[in-house]
Structure formats: C-alpha cells, structure tokens
C-alpha cells in the first residue's frame, strides 16, 4: 500500500499526538513524521518511543511549513486555544486536521483563514498526558467524530475518515454545533463534576481516611480530574455556553433531589430514584 | 475446622445476602443456612445457587427465631429501614449482625431493643441486585467496616471480624457516627450525583445519540444509578443530615466553577482545575 501521506507534522506530541504518530510510523501511513513542540524532553521521549522520526521546536514551525506540499498533513494536537492560534499561522497548502475536544470555534477559525481543514475528535483521551502515555491501540474500537470544513478538498474528508478507520476507530461525521452540544453533555459536564467532587471530598474527609476506604464509585467518578488542567481550561471556555446550559440543568436536578431530602419526601424521593434507574438501564 | 456458627438465618437474600450465604456453605462456616424473604422466585434462585440450604417466608421468621440458640447468627441484609424494623422483633438470644450502608440509626435501634448486635458494612455492593447476582468472591480484597454495639458479648465482635476475614475482607472497626460521616462523602454523595446526572443527560441528549457515543467518563460516573432505588431511598433518608451537608458543600463548589465560567475568569478557572488535579493525584 502506498503511504496515505508524504510528510506528517504533529504539533503537540502529547497523549493523542504521540499515539497518532506511533500508528503513522508502525502502519507505514506516512513517509516521514515530524513532531513540533515546546518541551524538548517530551519530544525526545516521542522519538524514543517511535511516535515521530524527528522533531523541531515551535520557532521552526514556520520554515518547516514553507516546505510542505499538497500530499502532506499537519495535525494540530495541542489544547484547543493553541489549535485556534495555530490556525492563524498554518499554511493552506497541506491538509490540516485537529484533534481538539471542541469544534465550533476551531472550524470558525479554520474557515476564517481559508485553511484546507478537516476537524476530528477522537473520543480516546484518558486522564494521562504526554508522549510517555501514548499507545498504539488508543484509538481501537473508539469513536472518532469528523467535522469537515468549507475549504477542504473533495477527497480530504474521505481521506481523514480512511485514516481513522485504519487506526481502528468508528468514524461519525457531523457538524460543529451538534458536536459541541453532544460533548458538552456527554463529556464536559462529567468533567466539571469530577473536578468539583474531589474538592468537596477533600474538605470533608482526610487523605488518610480516603486512602483507607478505597471506594470504587468515588474513584471511578473522579478519575478524570487527573486530566491536564490546561487542556480542560480551554475546553470549558471554548464550549462555555453549552457547558453552562448543562451545568444549570444539572444544578436544578440536584436541587430537586435536595428538596426531597430536606422535606423527607419519601414518595417523591423513591419515584425520582426509580426514574433515574430506568433511564440508566436504557443507556447501554 | 469446627463451623463458626450452627444455624445462620439470612433475612433478605439479595446481592449481599446471597454472596454471604454462598461463602457460609462453600467454606463450611455454618451447619445450616436458612433464607428469609418475600419473593419466592428469588429465594428459589438462592437455593439453586447454593446461597441457602432452605428458605421460609417472612411470616415464618418469628417461629423460626424461637428455635434459635446462642451459637446461631441472624444476618439482616435488607434495605436499611427494613433492618431497623427487624431489630424491633428479632430475638436477643442469637448473635445478630447487619450489612446496612448506614449505621447510626441501626445501632441505635439495636441498643434500644437490647439486641446482641454487631453492625457491619461490607463495601462490596455493585449496581446489581438479587440472589442471581450473588458471587462467592464479592468480599475478597474489599473493606468491611465493623461497628460493635453496647449489648454484644465480649467474643461477638471478634467472631464477626474473623468471619469477614475468612471471606477475604480487610476489616476496619469504628463507631456509627464516624462510619456515617465517611460514607456520606465517599459513597452517598457520589450516588446522588449518578442519580441526578443521568436525568440531566436524558433531558439534553437523545437515547440514540447517547448510545452512539459511548463515553467512558459518563458511563463510569452513572453506573451506580442502576442500584436498587428502594435501597438508596433508605440510605439517603437514614443518613439525611450528613448527605445534605455533603450536597451543600458540593453545590458550593459547582457554583464556584460556574461563576468562573460565567465571568470567563481564565486565571481562576485554571487555578481551580490545577488544585483539583493535585488533590486527585494524591487520592490513590
């Protein structure tokens, strides 16, 4: 099989970026994979783990770009706001793709700059980060959401779709608004819960007590609070309106349950829990 | 080894009750294990799965008790409020133990009735229920919290401690107030979150969309909303004051995060997330 791409430049060689790189090299989907980043130790780790062939510092991103052609791919794999900044300086010759967790403001920035861009969001993140956490099977059996933009070529979205398929992902295509609406509820809201719950727990229970009684439900619920704060800062702010909408509805549900407890309203409380259980059982 | 107990009566042969019964029979810790319950189909399933040798309906609990002696054990494994009701009618001759998720009101009821009682709470529940869900290894490597009462004999708590140890649990002894304070935060609060979050999600995302995008973080967070509503109704009401205290602190944390989003306060938001991550990383 001929490689899908000639050169691939990965900007941001973290968990997602390095895992993509490993696939590009191992599956021979690109002739050359180049990492771009700030932290040299992380970039060196990426080379050591065969996630990139070589790397350059961010200051060399521009001269590197000048040499890219139409068969090349630039992958923006930094936190969302950095992706948006990159879209202001990226060349429009190679195909550009991102892996950000929000889409509306990213696609808007790409279209404003008339970039040949296909947005994608592999639902494959974990609480880990950095090139050291990358793994070749990260995208296997996971969903990847594709959000094409106005200035991508006719064959660009199908090529990116094929690329994710080769990495083992199930690809769903939708628009940026729907992506952000779904993600606000299914991912961003749960993350606000994890980040706030760990603080609540730490105010009421000592570290020792918490360690002694290792509760599965609490641990599972707060695991994602280990995710990189910089990444989630950007996601929350870029998808702010929809996150706030979800948060307000959630606060209203909590207030309802709270009032049943406050009033010792046994019947309503039981009805509420029964309906919740019913909803969850259908959620499979 | 001589059996630990002569007869053991298990009132409520659900997930916990049937898993205990399986251990009693398989490990020969009791000469006879008798189930007491309402639903005959469930009791028959318990016999089929060797969780009990035989069973009687609730109406026969009293005559059954009259024949129990000091070497016997009664295990109350129903929802919390039913445990409290049982403590009003149970004999004070055999040793009585419960497996309820709250302790203050249960120990109070046992002491009021001068029952020979040792409270215990195996932290081993899952979202499953019924004798069909019972499993022999349910308590292995799990914590069991022991809460002795005023009217248990000198050797009773050590015997119950030994019993849980034989089932593979790590036993911690504490008092009812501390148990309920810890559980309110580490277990009951997370359950209120699961029950309210599934409803929030169902109001914003269709069942089809939810199924299509199977998010790990959301699924993990809401899994426990499948737990029996009757059981959690009792837990929330019996530990109401402490659950409300936890809920109010949690609501304050959510309000804080919400205000940072509302004001687009980037610096405070980032600081908040960083501190949460730090807390969670220490939670191992």
| pLDDT tens digits for range A31-64 | 999 999 999 999 999 999 999 999 999 999 999 9
Per-residue pLDDT of chain B (284 residues; tens, 9 = 90+): 689 999 999 999 999 999 999 999 999 999 999 999 999 999 999 999 999 999 999 999 999 999 999 999 999 999 999 999 999 999 989 999 999 999 999 999 999 999 999 999 999 988 889 999 999 999 999 999 999 999 998 999 999 999 999 999 999 999 999 999 999 999 999 999 999 999 999 999 998 888 778 677 788 889 999 999 999 999 999 999 999 999 999 999 999 999 999 999 999 999 999 999 999 998 87
pLDDT in the model for residue B127: 85
- Cα–Cα–Cα angle for B231, B235, B236, nearest 5°? 115
| Superfamily the domain B179-281 falls into | 6-phosphogluconate dehydrogenase C-terminal like domain (1.10.3660.10)
Secondary structure (H, E, C), B98-151: ECCCCCHHHHHHHHHCCCCEEEEEECCCCCCCCHHHCCCCCCCCCEEEEEECCC
Residue partners of A42: CB distance under 8 A and separation at least 6? A13, A14, A130, A131, A132
Restricting to B residues 203-262, those with a Cβ less than 8 Å away from any Cβ of A are 203-205, 207, 209-215, 217-230, 232-233, 236-237, 240, 243-251, 253-258, 261-262
Euclidean distance between CA atoms A284 and A18, whole angstroms = 31
CB contact under 8 A, A258 and B236: no
Judge whether B17 and B38 are in contact, CB under 8 Å. no
CB contact under 8 A, A274 and B229: yes
Restricting to A residues 52-81, those with a Cβ less than 8 Å away from any Cβ of B are none
Judge whether B52 and B21 are in contact, CB under 8 Å. yes
Across B172-186, b (16+ Cβ under 10 Å) vs e yields bebebeebbbbbbbb
Residue partners of B53: CB distance under 8 A and separation at least 6? B25, B32, B33, B34, B47
> B64: buried, middle or exposed (CB in 10 Å: 19+, 13-18, 0-12)?
middle
CATH 3.40.50.2000 assigned to domain B5-175? The reply is no
pLDDT in the model for residue B214: 64
B282 CA to chain A: closest CA distance, Å?
8
Instruction: Compute the CA torsion angle B63, B65, B68, B70 (nearest 10 deg).
Output: -150
CB contact under 8 A, B279 and A217: no
pLDDT digits (tens, 9 = 90+) for A78-124: 999 999 999 999 998 999 999 999 999 999 999 999 999 999 999 99
Euclidean distance between CA atoms A136 and A129, whole angstroms = 14
Residue A173's DSSP bridge partners are A146
Pairing assessment for the beta strands B95-98 and A143-148 based on DSSP bridges:
unpaired
CB contact under 8 A, A264 and B240: yes
pLDDT in the model for residue A214: 63
Judge whether B178 and B185 are in contact, CB under 8 Å. no
Euclidean distance between CA atoms B148 and B174, whole angstroms = 8
The ipTM is 0.94
Distances (CA, A) of B140 to B97, B137, B144, B154, B165: 19, 5, 10, 26, 9
Reply yes or no on whether the pLDDT at A215 is more than 80: no
Restricting to B residues 124-143, those with a Cβ less than 8 Å away from any Cβ of A are 143
- Per domain, the residue ranges of chain A are 5-175, 179-281
φ/ψ of A203, rounded to 5, equals -85, -20
DSSP B10: E
CB contact under 8 A, A192 and B244: no
pTM for the structure as a whole:
0.93
Secondary structure (H, E, C), B243-284: HHHHHHHHHHHHHHHHHHHHCCCHHHHHHHHHHHHHHHHCCC
Report yes or no: A47 at the B interface, CB cutoff 8 Å.
no
Which of A283 and B16 is assigned the larger pLDDT?
B16
DSSP A187: I
Restricting to A residues 181-200, those with a Cβ less than 8 Å away from any Cβ of B are 181-182, 184-187, 189-200
């Amino acid at each position: 099989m001929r490689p899908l791409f000639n050169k691939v430049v990965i900007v941001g060689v973290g968990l997602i970026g390095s895992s993509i790189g490993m696939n590009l090299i191992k599956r021979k989907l690109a002739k050359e994979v180049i990492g771009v980043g700030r932290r040299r130790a992380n970039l060196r780790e990426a080379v050591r783990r065969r996630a990139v062939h070589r790397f350059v510092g961010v200051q060399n991103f521009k001269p590197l770009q000048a040499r890219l052609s139409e068969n090349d791919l630039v992958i923006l794999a930094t936190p969302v706001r950095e992706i948006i900044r990159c879209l202001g300086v990226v060349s429009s010759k190679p195909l550009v793709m991102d892996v950000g967790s929000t889409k509306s403001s990213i696609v808007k920035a790409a279209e404003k700059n008339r970039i040949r861009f296909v947005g994608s969001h592999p639902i494959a993140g974990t609480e880990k980060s950095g090139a050291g956490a990358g793994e070749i099977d990260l995208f296997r059996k996971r969903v990847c959401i594709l959000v094409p933009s106005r200035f991508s070529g006719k064959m660009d979205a199908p090529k990116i779709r094929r690329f994710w398929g080769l990495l083992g992902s199930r690809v769903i295509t939708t628009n940026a608004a729907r992506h952000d609406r779904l993600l606000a509820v299914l991912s961003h809201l749960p993350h606000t819960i994890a980040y706030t719950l760990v603080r609540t727990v730490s105010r009421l229970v000592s570290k020792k007590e918490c360690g002694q009684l290792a509760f599965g439900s609490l641990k599972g619920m707060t695991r994602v609070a280990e995710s990189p704060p910089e990444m989630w800062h950007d996601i929350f702010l870029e998808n702010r309106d929809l996150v706030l909408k979800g948060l307000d509805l959630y606060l209203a549900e909590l207030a309802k349950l709270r009032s049943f407890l406050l009033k010792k309203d046994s019947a309503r409380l039981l009805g509420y829990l029964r309906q919740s259980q019913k909803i969850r059982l259908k959620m499979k």
